């Protein structure tokens, strides 16, 4: 599986934290941490989310895999997101990402200590980017009354 191969290629670490009796596809989908990826379109669209990520983003598979990845972030932080993607493209991965994301119900949450990496095969062909995050927390905004 390209997500597992690419993660190890760039980081030297295993994406699956523990050995499992399940096959790697099932173990990745059932992992207790969030894993997502998007394709190579000019406006990249998510093409994978494991069970944890679907829960965090409050979406089902068809909904998530039709979402342009930029729409998972607040518009005010899109410039920051673009800088992140450029950094990942240049270095292959980063392991210090922190940012605000939005669920389908409009809930904001902070992702911390995420690793974002380029998805490549053994020949270096590029397939998109992926992210794994182990920590997230709800953000509550106070609305000012007029």
Cross-strand pairs, 115: 132
Q: Say how many Å lie between the first and final Cα of the chain, rounded.
A: 53
Q: Domains, the chain, ranges and CATH?
A: 2-139 (3.30.450.20)
> 141 pLDDT band (50/70/90 cuts)?
low
For the segment 86-95, what is each residue's pLDDT rounded down to a tens digit? 888 889 999 9
> 22 pLDDT band (50/70/90 cuts)?
low
């Amino acid at each position: 599986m390209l997500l597992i191969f690419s993660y190890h290629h760039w980081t030297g670490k295993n994406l699956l934290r523990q050995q499992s009796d399940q096959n790697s596809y099932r173990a990745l989908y059932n992992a207790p941490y969030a894993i997502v990826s998007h394709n190579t379109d000019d406006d990249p669209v998510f093409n994978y989310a494991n069970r944890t990520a679907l829960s965090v983003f409050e979406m089902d598979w068809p909904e998530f895999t039709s979402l342009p990845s930029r729409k998972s972030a607040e518009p005010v932080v899109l410039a920051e997101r673009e800088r992140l993607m450029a950094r990942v493209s240049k270095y292959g991965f980063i392991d210090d990402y922190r940012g605000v994301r939005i669920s389908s119900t409009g809930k904001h949450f902070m992702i911390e200590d995420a690793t974002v990496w380029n998805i490549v095969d053994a020949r270096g062909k590029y397939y998109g980017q992926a992210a794994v995050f182990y920590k997230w927390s709800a953000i509550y905004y106070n609305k000012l009354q007029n």
